[in-house]
Amino acid sequence: MVGQVEADPRAATADDELLRRIARADAYRRFGPLVHTIALRSVGEHHDAEDITQQVFVALWRGRESLDASSGSLAGWLATVTRRRCADHHAIRARRTRDEQVFSREPARPAPDPSDATDRVLIADALEALGDPRATIIRMAILEDRRQEDIAHTLQLPLGTVKSHVRRGLMHLRSRLEEVTA
């Protein structure tokens, strides 16, 4: 028939076998380059594409019991999940840009003088509340004045993860210090 494609029984069998072998990382070896390429073309940043690739395969691992080879190919499922993760990434990036614009319009409050013992205790307490690895990353970025790339390399974390920790950590510190000083 014209317009209809018959399912290749060998492909379904191969996908069934692949689903059984996910625990041995066969899916990553086979489809990792596909997922990474889709992510990289969408987000344009190697580190962000690596983060998305990791998120997709974590989703695969978590959902492995509910995967049904009869509902479509594993490659199709991975491509769909990758596109959704990329869309989420773009939405987060847009929200971050909007937040940064809002923060840049707010009048800057003078930072507490770290030489004051009370302020040092407040800052130390606020950093402690962040927990690790965020507190460590903030200390390295702010107190040690290290570049985010250097922090990522030192802690063996993706650059995007370090950037996210710095941004969220600073926002948390800001709100926490505003509560205390208000």
Tens-level pLDDT at each residue, the chain (182 residues): 444 445 555 665 666 666 666 555 678 888 999 999 999 999 999 999 999 999 998 888 888 777 777 778 888 889 999 999 999 999 988 888 887 777 666 565 565 555 566 667 777 777 777 777 788 887 788 777 788 888 888 888 888 888 888 888 888 878 777 776 66
**φ and ψ at 8, to 5 degrees?**
-80, 115
Q: Which amino acid is at 166?
A: V
Q: What is the pLDDT of residue 180?
A: 66
Q: What is the pLDDT of residue 106?
A: 59
In whole angstroms, how large is the CA radius of gyration of the chain? 22
Taking the CB of residue 89, how many other CB atoms lie within 10 A of it? 20
Cβ proximity of 54 and 60 under 8 Å: no
Q: What is the pLDDT of residue 73?
A: 84
Q: What is the pLDDT of residue 119?
A: 67
Nearest alpha-carbon partner for 133 in 159, 161, 93: 161
Q: What is the pLDDT of residue 164?
A: 85
Residue 81, C-beta contacts closer than 8 angstroms, at least 6 positions apart? 56, 59, 60
What distance in Å separates the CA atoms of residue 2 and residue 8, rounded to the nearest whole number? 16
Task: Looking at 21-73, list the stretches that DSSP marks H as alpha helix, in order from N- to C-terminal side.
Answer: 26-43, 46-62
**φ and ψ at 52, to 5 degrees?**
-65, -40
What distance in Å separates the CA atoms of residue 135 and residue 173, rounded to the nearest whole number? 10
